[in-house]
Amino acid sequence: MNLRYRKTIIAGNWKMNLNEEEARQFIRQLKPLAAEARWCDVVLCVPFLQIPAAVKAARGTKIAIGAQNCHYEPKGAYTGEISCGMLAEAGVKYVIIGHSERRRDSNESDALVNKKVLAALQFGLRPIICVGETLEMRDNDVTLDVVRMQVKTALRGVMLEQLRRVTIAYEPIWAIGTGYTATAQQANEVNSVIRQVLRDLYGARAARAVSILYGGSMNVSNARELLAQPDVDGGLIGGASLKTESFAKIIEAANQQ
Ligand code: PEP
């Protein structure tokens, strides 16, 4: 973390979990704890259907509501899809783009991720762009090349003045939902390479202002060490974001750095 130049973000990704009442209750419990998080932004990326209730419950608090996906077109014949304009209208501030589960299950390519990033920015949303390697890629020593390419492609056409609304999450696929976590050194190594890509594309000043998160089995026991790394500016958290107690403890760890 480097609070001098960029904000810390602790973002929960609920995936396809928690019903409307559970979402309300979660936010009710988190409110007083999030209020103490002076040094970090708290985001909850909830299922589409829970967005209205979550936005209402989070009104007037430090908690921002995010979505987990979006479509790149503003409207049209795209059955089952939700546009960025619709999300913005519903009060959504952040949107996860290119999560590895969507890349895997819905064949999302880097080019599609790029279209979604541009659409999100156009509608005033803050994209959280997910990148990361498979175990096979890591074993073959191509992690850094793969991540560099994912970041470059995702940001194609993003203007310098839009970059401050972009967040990147490094999520090694082998660490998502598996209980295996990247070591703090592995996370920081990849995050600093991502920052180098940003530096090459946008210059040092813009690059140092971008929050780069780590995601992949971050939990109460490993959060402090991961967040202490200079290029780890927060977490994208799946499993440990489903219980208020564990999520609040990670926020606390970020706040105490
Ligand atoms: C995620 O879904 O982005 C994630 C990091 O999940 P988990 O924390 O459960 O590994």
Tens-place pLDDT, residues 222-252: 999 999 999 999 999 999 999 999 999 999 9
Catalytic position from the list 101, 108, 133, 171: 171
* CA distance linking residue 208 with residue 238, whole number of Å: 26
Instruction: Tell how far the Cα of 251 is from the centroid of ligand 1, in angstroms.
Output: 16
Looking at the predicted structure, is the pLDDT value of residue 190 above 80? yes
Q: Model confidence over 96-127: pLDDT tens digits? A: 999 999 999 999 999 999 999 999 999 999 99
Q: Model confidence over 157-170: pLDDT tens digits? A: 999 999 999 999 99
Atom of ligand 1 nearest to the CA of 218: 8
Query: Is the model's pTM score more than 0.95?
Result: yes
Establish whether residue 222 lines the binding site of ligand 1, counting it when its CB lies within 6 angstroms of any ligand atom: no
Task: Name the β-bridge partners of 45.
Answer: 13, 66
Residue 36 pLDDT: 81
Torsion angle of C-alpha atoms 97, 111, 226, 238, degrees rounded to 10: 30
Establish whether residue 176 lines the binding site of ligand 1, counting it when its CB lies within 6 angstroms of any ligand atom: yes
Atom of ligand 1 nearest to the CA of 130: 3
Residue 256 pLDDT: 83
- Rounded to an integer, the average pLDDT of 7-25 is 97
Catalytic position from the list 71, 99, 101, 108: 99
Contact 253, 34 (CB under 8 A): no
Burial readout 63-81 (b: 16 or more C-beta within 10 A, e: otherwise):
bbbbbbbbbbeeeeeeeee
Residue 133 annotated in active site = no
**Distance from CA of residue 51 to its chain's centroid?**
17
180 — pLDDT class (breaks 50, 70, 90)? confident
Residue with tokens 């103490």: 36
Instruction: Tell how far the Cα of 93 is from the centroid of ligand 1, in angstroms.
Output: 20
35 — pLDDT class (breaks 50, 70, 90)? confident
Establish whether residue 177 lines the binding site of ligand 1, counting it when its CB lies within 6 angstroms of any ligand atom: yes
Establish whether residue 218 lines the binding site of ligand 1, counting it when its CB lies within 6 angstroms of any ligand atom: yes
SS3 content of the chain, % helix, strand, coil (to 5): 45, 15, 35
* CA distance linking residue 103 with residue 144, whole number of Å: 18
Establish whether residue 171 lines the binding site of ligand 1, counting it when its CB lies within 6 angstroms of any ligand atom: yes
Residue 213 pLDDT: 98
Residue 99 annotated in active site = yes
Q: Model confidence over 52-88: pLDDT tens digits? A: 999 999 999 999 999 999 999 999 999 999 999 999 9
Mean pLDDT of the chain: 96
* CA distance linking residue 175 with residue 243, whole number of Å: 20
Looking at the predicted structure, is the pLDDT value of residue 257 above 90? no
Q: Which of 236, 241, 242 to mutate to test the pocket of ligand 1 (most atoms within 8 A of CB)?
A: 236
Residue with tokens 């813009």: 206
Closest CA to ligand 1's atom 7: 238
Atom of ligand 1 nearest to the CA of 239: 9
